[in-house]
Amino acid sequence: MSHFLKLPGLPPDAVPLLERLLQEDFLPIEALANIVESYREVINEAHARHGIANAEIGGAIADASLDLLDVMDDRASHDTRRVLQAGIRYFVIENDGQGSDLATVEGLDDDARVMNAVLRYFGRDELFIDVPDRPPARRTREAQARPRGLMSRLRRSR
């Protein structure tokens, strides 16, 4: 499992959080699928309201996550489940240490790179997500002025 954290393309700044996520208790596979679908909705709503969140990359990460979950079952090895769950959990944490996923168009780039590492771990390169080659997301003055709890605000406004 530790070799997962050394895969090419994994953002070095993501490793500390992934190390913690790899230690979490297992969530039911169905719950992980529901979490992914819920976060896809959050991304789509943020995109519709503010036009900033990258719904295309968010949708691609969600699709890849669900494709992997479709072939996963409770008999999978602990390492296999841990890697997939950590990748999904990283995706659904809005502020994963790389800035808000929803505050800039680049906000989900690190999440896509993490998911690509998960896909590489599983040998599913055909599902790779195309991530533009651009610098990591930086919080602009406008984004800094916005509250960080956008995900929770979106949920409350339903």
pLDDT grade, residue 141 (50/70/90)?
A: very low
Provide the token pair at 124.
């599913």
- Mean pLDDT in residue range 26-36: 96
- Mean pLDDT in residue range 101-120: 95
- Looking at every residue in the chain, the average pLDDT score rounds to 86
Question: For residue 129, what are the CA distances in angstroms to 20, 75, 104, 109, 153?
Answer: 24, 27, 18, 10, 28
**Taking the model in full, what pTM does it have?**
0.83
Degrees to nearest 5, angle at CA 38 with 88 and 155 = 125
**Residue 81 phi/psi, 5° resolution?**
-65, -40
Asked if residue 145 has pLDDT above 70, the reply is no
Q: What's the structural domain count of the chain?
A: 1
Residue type at 154 in one-letter notation: L
Degrees to nearest 5, angle at CA 115 with 122 and 94 = 150
- DSSP string spanning 57-96? HHHHHHHHHHHHHHT--TTS-HHHHHHHHHHHHHHH-SBS
User: What is the helix (H) or strand (E) element at residue 33, kind and residue range?
Assistant: helix 29-50
Asked if residue 118 has pLDDT above 70, the reply is yes
- CA nearest 115: which of 33, 4, 35, 38? 4
Each residue's pLDDT tens digit, 66-97: 999 999 887 789 999 999 999 999 999 999 87
End-to-end C-alpha distance for the chain, whole angstroms: 39
> Which comes out higher in pLDDT, residue 137 or 109?
109
pLDDT grade, residue 39 (50/70/90)?
A: very high
Provide the token pair at 113.
């790179």
pLDDT the model gives residue 8: 87
On whether the CB atoms of residues 106 and 53 are closer than 8 A, the answer is no
Asked if residue 147 has pLDDT above 50, the reply is no
Asked if residue 12 has pLDDT above 50, the reply is yes
**Residue 107 phi/psi, 5° resolution?**
-60, -25
Collapsing DSSP states into helix, strand and coil, what is residue 95? strand
Asked if residue 149 has pLDDT above 60, the reply is no
pLDDT grade, residue 1 (50/70/90)?
A: low
Q: Which of the residue ranges 3-12, 81-90, 104-113 would you say has the lowest mean pLDDT?
A: 3-12
On whether the CB atoms of residues 53 and 41 are closer than 8 A, the answer is no
- Domain extent, residue 143, equals 2-156
